[in-house]
Structure 1
Amino acid sequence: MRGLRKGVLGVALAAAVVMGAGGTAGAVGPVVGPARAEEPSAGVEAEGGSEADLAHHGHVSLWDGRVGVWLVSENLGPTDVAEATVRLAFSVPMAGGFDLPPACLWSSDRVVSCRTGELKATGGVGELALDLRTAGRPDELTVDITTAWRDGVADRNPRNDRHRVLVLATGDPYVF
């Protein structure tokens, strides 16, 4: 009975993750330009002194070899960001052959990189939902969420855009 409840919770969560992104597992909002893997060095002044404060929050769930990710990226300002790239690095390999939203690409069998689209200062928000499968059925995994690129804008507060989440295969949402 407990396994059935976990399975139903997992399916409900997967549906919620997909529905939360407007009916598909794609990014919401404008998507501009290619995803990039470069990251400006911490503490280095950006061109023209532009500064923004990107933040990523959401939750990750793992059940029966499936991973659901719901991610909200926002810009707390003071400068608009034309686009940014968020990287999700998993501690276990993901199964290939599954489509990603148009804003995302596989960087390796453990890393997905996704564009956020434009993030206006003080409130620009981008949403992303992913429904992935692991190569096996792990009891747990970790996922590292980081800003990989931010359009040349400095971020002096990277603590709110870098997270490491331990996710147990319970179907429960682990919030970051």
Structure 2
Amino acid sequence: MRAMSKGVLGAAIAALVVLGAGTTAGAVGDAAGDVVGDALGGVAGEADLAHHGHVSLWDGRVGVWLVTENHGPSDVVDATVRLAFSTPMAGGQELPPGCLWSSSRVVSCRTGALPGGGAAGELALDLRAVGRPQELTVDVSTAWRAGGADRNPVNDRHRVLVLATGDPYVF
């Protein structure tokens, strides 16, 4: 039963990611937010998503800690954050609930509902890279959101250079 529910969850998250794949998350007047907002029974307002946290690299392991916030003013029903690594990750690694592998270099995770002026729960990943890279980059971005236009997309897109020191690189 557990494998079946993971498969259903994975299909649902993949559908959410694909829904937003043809749009630019965070663009002014973003079609994804406006269309989804209309489908939910009204014109979408403005929702300012922001991703903050840190990434560490040590001994071929990658640790990511992330919080997604909605500075509002409108609520967001759901969103997907995308983490793209410059180095492939080792296969067969389990991810937290609400996350799935989009490829060996990309993890996509649901944030859940984000009330205006509120934060989602913390996301923590402990991954193994292929080999033992001395550095890597992580691109953090909003892949999709069900809610208003984001007129400040700068704070939901980050590129982080991480050296294999074990130190947390903050974004």
Q: Same fold (TM over 0.5)?
A: yes
Which residue of 51, 56, 60 maps to 1:56?
51
Cα deviation, residue 154, structure 1: 1.1
What letter matches 1:34 in structure 2? I
1:140-151 alignment, distance < 5 Å: 140-151=135-146
Q: Does 1:163 align with 2:151?
A: no
Q: TM-score, normalised by structure 2?
A: 0.80
Flag as ranges the 4+ runs of structure 1 deviating above 3 A: none
Deviations along 1:127-173, whole A, 9 cap, x unmatched? 10000000110000000000000114211100000000000000000
> Matched residue of 2:155: which SS?
helix
What letter matches 1:69 in structure 2? V
Kept in 1, the 8 Å contact 2:53–2:65? The answer is yes
Partner residue in 2 for 1:34: 13
Partner residue in 2 for 1:90: 85
Partner residue in 1 for 2:9: none
Q: Which has the higher strand share?
A: 2
Partner residue in 1 for 2:5: none
Which residue of 93, 102, 105 maps to 1:107?
102
Aligned residues: 144
> Matched residue of 2:77: which SS?
coil
> Identity, % of aligned pairs?
72
Deviations along 1:72-113, whole A, 9 cap, x unmatched? 001000111111000000000000111000110000000000
Taking the aligned partners of 1:131 and 1:124, their CA distance within structure 2 comes to 21
Which residue of 5, 22, 29 maps to 1:44?
29
User: Unaligned stretches of 5+ in structure 2?
Assistant: 1-11, 36-42
Q: TM-score, normalised by structure 1?
A: 0.78
Kept in 2, the 8 Å contact 1:74–1:126? The answer is no
What letter matches 1:128 in structure 2? L
Taking the aligned partners of 1:54 and 1:172, their CA distance within structure 2 comes to 26
Cα deviation, residue 123, structure 1: 1.9
Structural RMSD (CA): 1.4
> Matched residue of 2:74: which SS?
coil
> Matched residue of 1:159: which SS?
helix
